[in-house]
Amino acid sequence: MKWNIVTDSSCDLFSKDYQKGDIKFSSVPFNIQIGAESFRDDEQLNKKKLLNLINEGDVGKTSCPAPEDWLEQFRQPGNIIALTISSSLSGSLNSASVAKQMILEENPDKKIEIIDSKSAGPELALCVEQMETWIQRGMSFDEVVFATKKFLEETHILFMLKSFKHLIANGRLSRIKALLAQTFNVLGIGYGNENGEIVVKDKTRGSKKAIKILIQSMKADGFAGGKVCISHCENPKFVKTLKQNILDSWHNAEILVLPTRGLCSYYAEQGGLIVSYN
């Protein structure tokens, strides 16, 4: 049986880098508009050019994948499970749902499920890897769907950002949260809540304090070792130190480090990172 795991490009995995036999991973792109420049968040994205424009100060906007993008992947043979960025942050879930309805009109017996991750970035990457393990074990379609939803409920996400400019400008933070975020002088720490909304947690002036806050947050969430995924936007030095601190606290941690794709790069901005763990 063939399987196709589909995400939008909020997931920091690339389709070309993740194919496992009968399990295919596909990604549908967000679009990013900055001034007169338009970027499609796929494998051909010029990330350097995107970051240069962001650093020049333009804000821009993002738009979710069109139903036609989802439709192309949903027509692939086999079982389809799609993960979208939090519906609290984007209309990607609605777009995918339109495509699903179109597919079921063509083929009512098609097995297809769309899951709101209530998250973004590295959490989706962790989930894709776990789904692949379940499928290889021979779990049924319904079993994989159930396990995926439970996995996402038990997985946490933190972020450290140098700027909340794009989150504020694109309405991803409420007015009160935006005012709090704008008071940050250097680094802002936050997390995604159970509804998939961005919550401002703390602020700090230095990387050492930021790492301490991140580690303390992981402990407070009950992390006892296991899988961690860190997505970062051009900040390898900080990630190296954070990774070592995680391993010092949990020797059995398995840490995957990924560069942010276009969408997460746009919102995290240069130097930002997102951490997910189960």
Q: What is the pLDDT of residue 134?
A: 96
CATH of the domain at 167: 3.30.1180.10
- Find the domain containing 183 and state its range: 156-277
- pTM of the prediction? 0.89
Q: Which domain-ending residue is among 153, 185, 208?
A: 153
Q: What is the pLDDT of residue 16?
A: 65
Residues 98 and 68 in one domain: yes
Closest C-alpha to 112, from 127, 97, 134 = 97
**Which residues neighbour 123 within 8 Å (Cβ) at sequence distance 6 or greater?**
117, 152, 155, 157, 192, 229, 276
Q: What is the pLDDT of residue 125?
A: 95
Tokens of 175: 């007015």
Residues 137 and 218 in one domain: no
Distance CA 123, CA 85 (A): 10
Residues 14 and 123 in one domain: yes
Q: Which domain-ending residue is among 106, 138, 153?
A: 153
Residues 172 and 254 in one domain: yes
3-state secondary structure of 18: coil
Tens digit of pLDDT for each residue in 191-236? Answer: 788 887 777 776 777 788 999 999 999 999 999 999 999 999 999 9
Residues 142 and 165 in one domain: no
CATH of the domain at 138: 3.40.50.10170
Residues 94 and 122 in one domain: yes
Residues 142 and 66 in one domain: yes
Task: State the greatest distance between any 2 C-alpha atoms of the chain, in Å, as a whole number.
Answer: 56
Q: Which domain-ending residue is among 119, 153, 187?
A: 153
Contact 183, 210 (CB under 8 A): no
Residues 81 and 112 in one domain: yes
Tell me how many domains the chain contains: 2
Residues 44 and 164 in one domain: no
Residues 96 and 182 in one domain: no
Q: What is the pLDDT of residue 166?
A: 60
Residues 217 and 139 in one domain: no
3-state secondary structure of 166: helix
**Which residues neighbour 41 within 8 Å (Cβ) at sequence distance 6 or greater?**
9, 29, 30, 31, 32, 261, 262, 263
Neighbour-count burial of 153, counting CB atoms closer than 10 A to its CB (0-12 exposed, 13-18 middle, 19+ buried)? exposed
Distance CA 101, CA 244 (A): 46
Regions in the chain scoring below 50 on pLDDT: 175-176, 178-179, 181, 184
CB-based contacts of 54-61 (< 8 A; 24+ apart in sequence): 54/166, 54/265, 54/266, 54/269, 54/270, 55/270, 58/34, 59/34, 59/165, 59/166, 59/169, 59/170, 60/32, 60/33, 60/34, 60/35, 60/166, 60/266, 61/32, 61/33, 61/169, 61/170
Residues 81 and 48 in one domain: yes
Q: What is the pLDDT of residue 164?
A: 67
